[in-house]
Amino acid sequence: MERIIQAFAHEPKNRQELLEHLREAHENKLLDSEALAIVEGAIQVADLQVRDIMVPRSQMMIIKAHQTPQEFLPAAIEAAHSRYPVIGESLDEVKGILLAKDLLPLLLEGAKPFDIDEMMRPATFVPESKRLNVLLREFRANRSHMAIVIDEYGGVAGLVTIEDVLEQIVGDIEDEHDVDGDNSFIKALPSGDFIVKALTPVDAFNEFFDTEFSEEAFDTVGGLVMAEFGHLPKRNEVIEVGDFRFRVLNADSRRLHLLRLTPLSR
């Protein structure tokens, strides 16, 4: 009986204890930093709701149902998304989702006249309060990649994609439109936010945003943000520094990697 009690004495009783065990495993070299970050993300995603990660209503890139391709394509090409909500008279009237790939036949000679009603797909609607683990399960079951987020009054609050959910688990998913290369530290997003590498030199940040953060106190933006937190923050922790809000997109147990910056003065 004594041996049985000892065997179960150290089993985690809740999620926090489980995370502590995983971090001990990392310290003992049983898990590397990347594996620990992914497991932490998978566990913590159940505590997040759609409202925590959605693209807000004001930052949605939309297409109006009455627009012609000539009218909406320039903005769509600049945004470089794969899916766009199609609205009617107002933003609260989402008629469907237009996939960028469905526009390719328009390049062919003799293509049928453009009819957005025929091209767009049905939209999926979810409440702000839906848990991310439930949403991910629904995305997989319905084979959908985007959902329109509805507030408690039935109005459109924003949108969320399957990539947004997966990034909470595996970290920021970079593609050819994301920040890349050693010399690319800051990337502007269509929403008005910015993706900032934590290794961005403070002087480069000051020059880009016309700010005056101390270049003597900190070498990098990651160091500046970490000093404001007062600890090594985890993914999705948010802090306001000056006229900016920083959200941690990617971090491990040793340092920050990627930040999302939202100007507060716009």
Rounded to an integer, what distance in angstroms lies between the CA atom of residue 162 and that of residue 126?
A: 13
Rounded to an integer, what distance in angstroms lies between the CA atom of residue 86 and that of residue 96?
A: 5
Q: pLDDT value at position 173?
A: 56
CATH number for domain 51-170, candidates 3.40.50.720, 3.10.580.10, 1.10.645.10, 3.40.50.150: 3.10.580.10
Residue 37, pLDDT > 50, answer yes
Asked whether this chain's domains 51-170 and 186-263 adopt the same fold, the reply is no
Q: DSSP secondary structure string, 190-202?
A: TTS-EEEETT-BH
Q: How many CB atoms lie within 10 A of CB 253?
A: 15
CA quadruple 173, 188, 52, 60: dihedral, nearest 10: -110
| Tokens 């000892």, residue located | 6
pTM (2 decimals)? Answer: 0.59
pLDDT in tens, 151-174: 988 899 999 999 888 877 776 555
Asked if 192 and 61 touch (Cβ cutoff 8 Å), the reply is no
pLDDT in tens, 180-194: 444 478 988 767 888
Rounded to an integer, what distance in angstroms lies between the CA atom of residue 102 and that of residue 82?
A: 10
Residue 90 — very low, low, confident or very high, per pLDDT cuts 50/70/90? very high
Rounded to an integer, what distance in angstroms lies between the CA atom of residue 179 and that of residue 196?
A: 8
- Could you give phi then psi for residue 188, rounded to 5 degrees? -80, 140
Residue 144, pLDDT > 60, answer yes
Asked if 85 and 93 touch (Cβ cutoff 8 Å), the reply is no
Q: What is the mean pLDDT of the chain?
A: 83
Tokens at residue 265, please?
């003065």
Residue 7 — very low, low, confident or very high, per pLDDT cuts 50/70/90? very low
CA quadruple 233, 59, 162, 221: dihedral, nearest 10: -30
Residue 8, pLDDT > 70, answer no
Residue 6, pLDDT > 60, answer no
Rounded to an integer, what distance in angstroms lies between the CA atom of residue 178 and that of residue 95?
A: 29
For the chain, domain boundaries? 51-170, 186-263
**Structural class in CATH, domain 186-263:** alpha beta
